Structure 1
Amino acid sequence: MATPTIREERVFFAIGLRLAAMLTLAMMFALVKLVNARGVHLGEALFYRQAFALPIVFAWICMTQGAKSVRTGRIGLHLSRTALGLLGMIFNFGSFILLPLTEATTIGFSMPIFATILSAILLKEATGIHRWAAVLIGFLGVLVMVRPDASHFPLLGVAVALVAAILTASISLLLRTLGRTEGAAVTVFWFTVLSMPPLGITMLFVGQSHDPLTWGLLALMGITGGIAQLFMTGALRWAPVSVVLPMDYSSILWATVFGWLVWNDWPVVSTWIGAALIVSSGLYIAWREHVRLRTNREVVIQ
């Protein structure tokens, strides 16, 4: 199905979808933290996250593109994306288990910083002084927020969150290659399907019984995760990345609300200052990428 022409009302629709995606994603990570507190092993959380999301993702593909659209000739790349994606999920889930929601969410937004560095090193992309300045500001934000001399949250959690951001940045580079031939929904489908066998094997060692409430929370965790992926994909269908990407930072607000309501956690002043620096860095990097792509298109047209 061809991508529709972008109209003003569709742009606002895309922004709404992305905001809804950030709300459901924040809910999912809050649920990860909740089920862990109820004795759910990390391996179980990963398995049920994928298992409950798979029917939703496949049903959506069937309704929009048809079941045949999941055919692929790049299964090797999908396997690589799955291996990297599972590792990324382990560290992402771990960061939300170890840290308060706001801090884990904020450190996760250092991903564009690492994506810029990896693009320059691995893809040999030209990276000017503007981007490097944004990278330095982002790192300054992380240092301000972490405050190594303080003990308001564990440094192990910070390390796990930073590794998660690096892995997410690496995945974004791989998705660039996959995106040349594969739709976003198809990529999500294969990641979900291919991750089930290794996670199923893990369940042989860590699977256990739970009370009805915990099962309900696990199901809701997987469903909200699947819905979040679909909303994020849908937003990109109706508007450019440069329009919808800034909406991702709204998840910091949701993480703060859930952290306060459920765990009575309220970010300290250094977290807000660091978050402002990290968000500013990410937005500037996104804007520079938009300018670069627009300039390249103008050169091609000429």
Structure 2
Amino acid sequence: MSGHVYARPLQGVVFLVLAVACFATLDTSVKVLGASVSVLLVVWFRYLFQAVVMAGFVLPTRGWRSLRTRHPWLHLLRGALLLLVSTLGFISLGYMPIGEFTAIVMLTPLVVTLLAAVFLKEPANLLRWALVLGGFGGALLVIQPTGQAIGWAVALPLVMTLAYAVFQILTSRMTRTEDAMTLHFYTGWVGALLISLALPWVWQSIDDLRTAALLGLAGLMGTVGHFLLIQAFARAPAGVLAPYLYVQIGFALFAGWLVFDHVPGTLEWWGIALIAACGATMAWLSARAPQTARPARP
């Protein structure tokens, strides 16, 4: 078992649900932007926004000392992983509806739970595995009706899923020794600097208010969402949080209906119900966990 004590798993769940709501909003704005703006330019602005906001907040309030770290290469790896996730995700959204894309990405919790159990030694009993597999089955029901996610484009979110799982595990490990603001600062600047290398080939001027507003929304939602994600993993184990990532499917389907008039089919709604049932059960288990753990781990 991990030596790290998680005292507030329910707070972690709340932060995670808020984070995935931000990510669904981010995906929606990116899909709208994709019709007129280069995907790599959107990625660049999203990271530049985060880097500038975090620099403006962290440096005046905490100073340069707050950026000291014993793991610079892990920060570089984490930033590069998230940049890869963002780029593959933004490209995928150009080929798939938001709901189907998000459902494929929701294979991530199964991979996260496996990696957390093997490498972080976080507990994952049979009931938790059953709940994760139940959520996975719900995600498959969401994908099944339309078939639009089948084809070469499906490889992009699958690769993204693996990278995102590794990113989440790395985040869970680094929050044990690194300050959340330090993590967020380096993530933004690593992504911004790396994607800036491609800027000369993808630059285009933005001359209308709507596009500028959507770029700003994408930057804001990415920045806030990943800060909430860090806070979530600082408060609860990755294995506990994993099923709640499925909630993003619901947010994405709602956004797809609201913005793109994409209505889910019957099997998709059954999938959402299964995901919600698994999530509610896991919430009940999470509520019991601190009470059970206190006598053994004061």
TM above 0.5, yes or no, is: yes
Name the residue aligned to 2:188. 192
**1:193 Cα deviation after fit:** 0.8
Identity %: 30
How much does 1:195 deviate?
Answer: 1.6
Q: Does 1:131 align with 2:128?
A: yes
Out of 113, 116, 119, the residue aligned to residue 119 of structure 1 is: 116
**Equivalences for 1:205-224 in 2 at 5 Å?**
205-212=201-208, 213-224=210-221
Q: CA offset at residue 91 of structure 1?
A: 2.5
Gaps of 5+ in 2: 1-6
Name the count of aligned residue pairs.
Answer: 286
1:107–1:161 CA contact under 8 A, matched in 2:
yes
Residues 284-299 of structure 1: pairs in structure 2 closer than 5 A: 284=281, 295-299=292-296
Once residues 20 and 157 of structure 2 are traced to their aligned partners in structure 1, the CA distance between those partners, rounded to angstroms, is: 18
Cα deviation, residue 284, structure 1 = 4.9
Q: TM-score, normalised by structure 1?
A: 0.77
**CA offset at residue 219 of structure 1?**
2.8
Cα separation, partners in 2 of 1:229 and 1:133, compared to 1, 3 Å: closer
TM-score, normalised on structure 2? 0.78
- What is the alpha-carbon distance in structure 2 between the residues aligned to residue 165 and residue 73 of structure 1? 28
User: Does 1:77 find its partner at 2:79?
Assistant: no
Q: Is the 8 A contact 2:104 2:143 kept in 1?
A: no
Report the Cα offset of residue 251 of structure 1.
4.4
Alpha-carbon separation, structure 1, partners of 2:43 and 2:204: 14
Distance across 1 between alignment mates of 2:177 and 2:204: 40
Offset of 1:50 from its aligned partner? 0.5
Instruction: Give the whole-Å Cα distance in 2 for the aligned partners of 1:294 and 1:112.
Output: 25
In structure 2, the partner of 1:94 is 91
CA contact (8 A) 2:180 2:227 kept: no
42-51 vs 97-106, greater mean Cα deviation: 97-106
Deviation at 1:27, TM superposition (A): 2.3
State the distance in 2 between where 1:115 and 1:294 align: 25
Tell me how far 1:29 sits from its aligned partner.
Answer: 1.3
Preserved CA contact (<8 Å) 1:84 1:167: yes
Contact 1:106 1:275 (C-alpha < 8 Å) held by counterparts? no
Supply the distance in 1 between the matched residues of 2:66 and 2:142 (Cα, whole angstroms): 44
Cα contact 1:109–1:279 (8 A) shared by 2: no
Distance 2:252 2:46 in 1: 19
Counterpart CA distance in 2 for 1:233 and 1:180 is: 11
* Matches for 1:1-302 after TM superposition, within 5 Å: 15=14, 21-38=19-36, 40-62=37-59, 65-123=62-120, 125-147=122-144, 150-212=146-208, 213-230=210-227, 240-241=235-236, 251-281=248-278, 284=281, 295-301=292-298
Alignment gaps of 5+ in structure 1: none
Per-residue deviation, 1:232: 5.1
For 1:63 and 1:31, the matched residues in 2 are separated by 31
Q: Is the 8 A contact 1:54 1:192 kept in 2?
A: yes
